[in-house]
A and B are shown apart, each in its own frame.
Chain A
Amino acid sequence: MPRYLRIVLLLTPGLGLVVVMMSMVIYRAVAQSFGLYNFGGEDILSLAHWQEMFDNRRYWSALRWSGYIATTSALLSVALAYPLALWLRRPFFGSTILSAMIKAPYFVPGLVAAFLLINVISFHGFVNEFMIWIGLWDKPVRMQNDENGYAIIGLQVWKQLPLAFLLLLGSIQSIPDSVLHAAQDLGAGTLARFRRVVLPLTMKAMQAALVLIFIGAAGDFSFQAIAGPARKNSMATLMTQLQGSNYSDWNGAAVVGVTLMGLSLVGAVALAGFVQLMTKFTENVR
């Protein structure tokens, strides 16, 4: 038996199942977006549903919105995780507690976190009541469901930062002190050491963090539904709206779903590529 065949056969029971399930789901979503598997009528293969969505302003607005939230959350999480990981790279008194506190949000369900946040920032929430009580504000300030999605981004970062932190910490800890000393010895200050040594040596971990966070945030439903601006949709909330409520537009929802997968793929590749470009400073000397 040829070697590759044996490998394929050995992998089939595990990987095969995953591949079959995944491709079935993706196939159905794609097929549905082109009018097949139609629950509401006859199956007609057509571009009509895509056409319809392309003409729908809510579709484009949701796509832009999800892209914006996902990119901002991913970049912000990584930007905040780097200094934390560098700081907690070597153990010191209290560092275990600190890093446990940073990781904790990862174990809090997103929905719970969103409700907690709302309790804090709502019109009659903790912050408003407190500010009025101490007399700094004379009437409550509207912070909930803000137009720029700061609450969602805040929630995303709070929730996803542990992931970036863990990935970067492992990667940073594998850089020997002597290598950082060598850079410092050759005249590299804090920033130069970060740019010329830490960044390129942790690039893979940073890419992984960006990609995972981007994909997670792009598909967000709960934060958007609870803390997002009322007049905006994320891809996921748009999907449920199309398919649920009174529209029952399964095919339209499929178009949004397929677009979301596309957004995840394109966004992930774009972010990873951006990082690669950024770290590939012109170190070459000929």
Chain B
Amino acid sequence: MGLEIENVGVRFGSFEALRSVNLTVDDGAFVTLLGPSGCGKTTLLNVIAGFLKPTSGTVRMDGMDISDTRPEARDTAMCFQSYALFPHLSVRENVAFGPRQKKVPKNEIVQRVSKLLDQMGLDIHAEKLPNALSGGQQQRVALARALAVAPGIVLFDEPLSNLDAKLRDQVRTEIRALQREVGFTAVYVTHDQAEALAMSDEVFLLNKGVVEQSGAPREIYFRPRTSFVADFIGAANLHVGKIKDGAMATPFGPLGVRGADALNKTVCWRPEVVRLGGDLQGAVTASAFQGGHLDLFVSAGDQTVRLQVPGSHEFDVGDEVSFGLDPENVVVLADEGHVDA
């Protein structure tokens, strides 16, 4: 089921939680809403699910305006950030709640529920009440309960935040596999950028109630449009200054840039696009061995950048290091020259 959100704004009193959000999700796509805490991610999901009436704008599903459709009549299922499990029902009954409400034939409910409980590793807890489960287990029940209704759109509100790293990887893969198998459209909220990059067809980066940038993970990562995006997704190195004749002067030396001359611009590059040896230079202030690669913090003047080099290299603090960048890997950002940290 396709989803279109057009100029949606939400106000709580005088506070604008969403200013003017636009996003389009194709049928069967997996998109993530990424953004810092309080930027309006849950609010947007509540608008899509119908719990919250937007102050302005329209929401369409498969081309139909559903602004006046009640939540129970929308073909969405939400996996709540706070789980919101039914405390009086066992795990199995929680998962079966939706299908029963939708009058799915009894034996199909039994099958569907058992399969989901298996997939989520909850089969041995099936008869327990929610308050007898750990946070991570409850989170998986919430997930199974949302998936059990086989909705057109599944809204995930940070569904893996309470799982340990190993389980998170596993459930993440399960969700993605299930989504491909069943074909539902997924809107997935997270503030974990690695998760967003790993899972999505498209990432929508929200900031202060607007979509700051959207695009495929690679595009967002390698071609950030603003310093906020560059900074929020991965570790970016930013420089502010004047661009003249295809270069920007930095404390490390002249940085080659593909961009028109300008007085005040921010440019950014990723730690891993660097190569050792070149016309930029600085002193190592810290290094961290990460196995496959080595993280180096290199300073010159009052600036520090982060480099990622193959793990076979060794550096000590204080060593001078020279490095270089391809100008096409240096991105000129749209915003004026200020770095907002």
Minimum CB–CB distance from B129 to chain A (whole Å) comes to 12
The reply on B290 being an interface residue by CB < 8 A is no
Interface string of A153-193 (1 = CB under 8 A from B): 00000000000000000000000101101111111110010
A7 within 8 A of B: no
A284 to chain B, nearest CB (A): 7
Please give, as numbers and ranges, the residues of chain A lying within 8 Å of B85 by CB-CB distance: 179, 182
Which residues of A are found within 8 Å of B97, using beta-carbon distances?
183, 186, 188, 196
Give chain A nearest CB distance to B273 CB in angstroms.
43
In A106-135, which residues have CB < 8 Å from any B CB?
Answer: none
Task: List CB contacts (< 8 Å) of B100-147 with chain A.
Answer: 100-102, 106, 109-110, 113, 145-146
Residues of B within 8 A of A176 (CB): 82, 84
List B residues 152-210 near A (Cβ within 8 Å): none
Whole-angstrom distance between the Cβ of B208 and the nearest chain A Cβ: 25
A284 near B93: Cβ-Cβ < 8 Å: yes
- Cross-chain contact B72 with A185 (CB below 8 angstroms): yes
CB 8 Å contact bits of A190-202 with B (1 = contact, 0 = none)? 0010001100110
On whether the beta carbons of A188 and B101 are closer than 8 Å, the reply is yes
Give the A interface residue count (CB, 8 A).
21
Query: DSSP class of A's interface residues: helix, strand, loop or mixed?
Result: helix
Indicate if the CB atoms of B101 and A286 lie closer than 8 Å. Answer: no
Contacts of A188 in B (CB 8 A): 72, 97, 101
Would A178 and B84 count as touching, CB distance under 8 A? yes
Contact code string B301-315 (vs A, CB < 8 Å = 1, else 0): 000000000000000
B267 interface residue, CB < 8 Å from A?
A: no
Provide the residues of chain B in CB contact with A182, threshold 8 Å.
78, 80, 84-86, 145
Given A186-B98, A187-B149, the answer on whether A201 and B87 have CB atoms closer than 8 Å is yes
B49 at the interface (CB under 8 A from A): yes
Q: Is A179 within 8 A of B72, CB to CB?
A: no
Given the complex of chains A and B, what is the CA–CA distance between A186 and B144 in angstroms?
Answer: 12
- CB atoms of B84 and A187 under 8 A apart: no
Known contacts: A187-B98, A283-B93. The answer to whether A179 contacts B110 by CB under 8 A is no
CB pairs A–B below 8 angstroms (17 shown): A176-B82, A178-B80, A179-B84, A181-B84, A182-B78, A182-B80, A182-B145, A184-B70, A185-B71, A185-B77, A186-B77, A186-B102, A188-B97, A200-B88, A201-B87, A285-B92, A285-B96
> Hey, which bits of chain A sit against chain B, CB under 8 A?
176, 178-179, 181-189, 192, 196-197, 200-201, 283-286
**CB-defined contacts of A178 to chain B, threshold 8 Å:** 80, 82, 84
A193 to chain B, nearest CB (A): 8
Instruction: List residues of chain B with CB within 8 A of the CB of A197.
Output: 86
**What 4 A-B pairs come out closest when comparing CB atoms?**
A186-B98, A178-B84, A187-B101, A182-B84
Residues of A within 8 A of B96 (CB): 283, 285
Q: How far is the CA of A192 from the CA of B72 in the complex (A)?
A: 10
CB contacts (< 8 Å) of B299 on chain A: these are: none
Which of B77, B82, B88, B96 gathers the greatest number of chain A CB atoms within 10 Å? B88
In the complex, whether B51 has a CB less than 8 A from a CB of chain A is yes
CB-based nearest B residue for A185: B78
Interface members, chain B 203-234 (any A CB < 8 Å): none
* Most chain B C-beta atoms within 10 Å of own C-beta, residue among A197, A201, A283: A283
Contact B102 A187 (CB under 8 A): yes
List B contacts of A184 (CB < 8 A): 51, 70-72
B93 and A285 contacting across the interface, CB-CB below 8 Å: yes
A285 to B114, CA, bound (A): 10
Instruction: Determine the distance from Cα of A124 to Cα of B97 in the docked complex, in whole angstroms.
Output: 58
CA distance A196 to B72 in the complex (A): 14
* Neighbouring B residues of A189 by C-beta, 8 Å: 70, 72
- In the complex, what distance in Å separates the CA atom of A183 from the CA atom of B71? 10
